[in-house]
Amino acid sequence: MTTPTVVALSGGVGGAKLASGLMRVLPHGTLRVIVNTGDDFMHLGLHISPDVDTTLYTLAGLANPETGWGRRDETWSFMEAMELLGGDTWFRLGDRDLALHVERTRRLAAGETPSQITADVAHRFGITADILPMTDDTVRTMVRTDEGELSFQDYFVRRRCRPRVASLRFDGAADARPAPRARDALRDRNLSAIVICPSNPYLSIDPILSVDGICDLLHESAAPVVAVSPLVGGRAVKGPTAKIMAELGLPVSAQEVARHYDGVLDGFVVDARPSAAACELDLPLLVTDTLMETLPDRDRLARETLEFAATLRKRRAA
Amino acid sequence: MTTPTVVALSGGVGGAKLASGLMRVLPHGTLRVIVNTGDDFMHLGLHISPDVDTTLYTLAGLANPETGWGRRDETWSFMEAMELLGGDTWFRLGDRDLALHVERTRRLAAGETPSQITADVAHRFGITADILPMTDDTVRTMVRTDEGELSFQDYFVRRRCRPRVASLRFDGAADARPAPRARDALRDRNLSAIVICPSNPYLSIDPILSVDGICDLLHESAAPVVAVSPLVGGRAVKGPTAKIMAELGLPVSAQEVARHYDGVLDGFVVDARPSAAACELDLPLLVTDTLMETLPDRDRLARETLEFAATLRKRRAA
């Protein structure tokens, strides 16, 4: 007997919410979440992997519901002491959160891969899905702005997305190979659906799709690819998706998001709220409530997305 | 006009207490504390320098008065989270304390020396003495025991000094050079006294004296060298001094401590409490209350030691 599996491609908070819904509605061990690592960076000598951490914390039920990043029940003594030492404090590292960064950095230095470390942490956190960094190689999202080219965290956290974005590039992506377990997840013959989570298409999903070979694996898979638009009522729920679309000279619409994923999608999920631009697409469409404010919201959207995917046929063969 | 300077050689808690007394009774900027770095080790990928940290925290008034290590007003979220991650937790790292280890590790990786980093931290902590790591090179105290040869922290913290000590060696000491500022402090023409603090002679002071050239600098200096015995009433106030002396087959007495420093000392300070063995030495002796329970205790012992040193003549010329 074969159990169908599902792959989700995800970035930060919005994607992790849907991934946690998918984990809960699917049989244990059948969800594989491929996570963006283009946001990874070295800070205070520590290897920080923000989207992987957000995914781990969210799926473990440890995420901070107020901030959208870091852990709940967090304390901040480290940051206070670091301030007195004159160290960098623009990237807020909670005391509990820090344990993950220190342990990851130590294990990477000892020769373990991001994939191995992430799998072990997910296991210790009791997570019943596989959390798979997109690659074990180094990819760095670089943001070209009116203030020059910035590393991702410099743009996103230090400058709070204020600079105007002109373009993005994913340094190292062309030479990066998909992590073996991410590749295997996409090649799985029991794969029944590939869900592109409602993460920022430009900052969170594009780095995954830019890793050499991942787009081909999406095409080659017999499973339909369905994306959930991150726009609700013509705006991003969180983060700079809409701002970046406007700065790139694009219409801020779900239709434009679908167009961005052109050639990859077999179906598209958009929010039912009225938005500035109507969604006219030559693509199977699910119109529903995509706002995930509660855990039941996540589960419902996950279930609807999976049911929608089950109705889809692959548009292009390998 | 020249201001007399004082050098203290120090290890952990006991030494740091006297050093803090010396700092308070001396004019600002005239005390230089040369600190043992043989206890330094890598843990969780972080460079930890326990005696330097104890000295910094004690002289800054940030030390934890209950534990004798780490910081006061400490929190422990990091350790709790590390436990969940399955990381090492035998060496307790508080959240505030951690900032110093992370920042030191980062700055060492960026090419700064332990001396530079320590000086900067001391300055930020408002410390009016110079805290000088004995060397910027790597020296590692190794403890040969009935359970095999152990690294210092393995012996001292993980096994809580339980193994029987057969001998000690200071790996790297023969090739280590005194840190430039430690060397300059000992060569200072205005140096008026060298105080060996009541630290463990075998674990804390010997590593300093084993660094190539430091013994010569002590001999060559015109300043008298005076040691304060760490034994009070025939016992160590804290730590394994007495236990180690017994295991090495030595009499547990101040007299033996003085004998251990033979050829280096111009004077010796012993506690007035009756002890198992009387102190009969061919050496100028100050017998006083050496127990430092309060800040005024530290200041009084510091003042008495300095006054005693001022009466001493160098026994051997360069």
CATH of the domain at A233: 3.40.50.10680
User: In this structure, is residue A233 part of a structural domain?
Assistant: yes
For A87, which of B78, B85, B99 is closest by C-beta distance?
B99
Mean pLDDT of chain A: 93
Residue A16 counted as domain residue: yes
- Under an 8 A CB cutoff, do A99 and B105 touch? no
Q: How close is the nearest chain B Cα to the Cα of A200, in Å? A: 29
Domain count, chain B: 1
Residues A192, A3 contacting (CB under 8 angstroms): no
Express each pLDDT in B224-244 by its tens digit.
Answer: 999 999 999 878 888 889 999
Contact B85 A121 (CB under 8 A): yes
Backbone angles phi, psi at B66, to 5 degrees: -80, -50
Q: Give chain B's mean pLDDT.
A: 93
- Please list every residue in chain B whose beta carbon sits closer than 8 Å to the beta carbon of residue A124: 84-86
In-domain check, residue B315: no
Distance CA A161, CA B121 (A): 33
**Does residue A246 have a pLDDT over 50?**
yes
The set of residues, in sequence order, having a beta carbon less than 8 Å from that of B44 and lying 6+ positions away, is: A102, A103, A106, B82, B87, B88, B93
pTM: 0.90
**Which residues have CB under 8 Å from A168's CB, separation 6+?**
A141, A142, A143, A144, A202, A203, A206
Task: Let me know: does A283 contact A305? Beta carbons within 8 Å.
Answer: no
Give the structural domain span for A268. Answer: 5-40+115-310
pLDDT value of position A308: 97
Per-residue confidence band for A278, with pLDDT thresholds at 50, 70 and 90? low
What pLDDT was estimated at residue A280?
A: 74
Q: Is the pLDDT of residue A71 over 60?
A: yes
Q: For A179-191, how does the pLDDT look when each residue is reduced to its tens digit (9 = 90+)? A: 999 999 999 999 9
Say yes or no: ipTM exceeds 0.95.
no
What is the spatial distance between Cα B46 and Cα B104, in angstroms, rounded to a whole number? 8
Q: Measure the CA angle with vertex B32, ends B29 and B36; round to 5°.
A: 150
Query: What pLDDT score was predicted for residue A317?
Result: 45
**CB-CB: which of B44, B79, B95 is closest to A106?**
B44
| Residue A47 located in a structural domain | no
Q: Do A99 and B120 touch (CB under 8 A)?
A: no
Interface test with B, best of A71, A77, A91 (most B CBs within 10 A): A77
For an interface test with A, give the residue of B102, B117, B118 to mutate (most A CBs within 10 A).
Answer: B102
Among A46, A75, A81, beta carbon nearest to B99: A81
Predicted confidence band of residue A203 (pLDDT cuts 50, 70, 90): very high
Q: Do residues A231 and A268 make contact, with C-beta atoms less than 8 angstroms apart?
A: no
Residue B134, amino acid: M
Residue B71 tokens read as 């910081």
CA distance A291 to chain B (A): 31
pLDDT at site B318: 39
Set of chain A residues whose Cβ sits within 8 Å of the Cβ of B85 = 99-100, 103, 121, 124
A104, part of any domain: no
Q: Work out the average pLDDT over A229-255.
A: 89
Do B109 and A45 make contact, defined as CB atoms within 8 angstroms? yes
Interface of chain A against chain B, CB under 8 Å? 44-46, 71, 74-75, 77-82, 84-87, 94-100, 102-103, 105-106, 109, 120-121, 124-125
Question: Quick check: A96 and B86 CB within 8 A?
Answer: no
Are A45 and B105 a contacting pair at CB < 8 A? yes
Mean pLDDT by 10 residues, chain B (318 residues): 90 95 97 97 95 97 86 95 93 96 97 98 97 98 95 89 94 96 97 97 96 95 96 84 93 93 94 70 91 94 98 72
Q: Do A75 and B98 touch (CB under 8 A)?
A: no
Residue that has been written with the tokens 């963006």 in this structure? A36
Question: What tens digit of pLDDT does each residue of A137-163 get?
Answer: 999 999 999 999 999 889 988 898 999
Sequence-ordered list of residues with C-beta below 8 angstroms from that of A313, at least 6 positions apart, any chain: A224, A266
Which of A117-126, A194-203, B92-101, B270-279 shows the lowest per-residue confidence on average (mean pLDDT)?
A: B270-279
Q: Does residue A108 form part of some domain?
A: no
Q: Does any domain span residue A184?
A: yes
Q: Is residue A95 part of a domain?
A: no
Length of chain A in terms of residues written:
318
Of A46, A80, A96, the CB nearest to B81: A96
Predicted confidence at residue B317, as pLDDT, reads 45
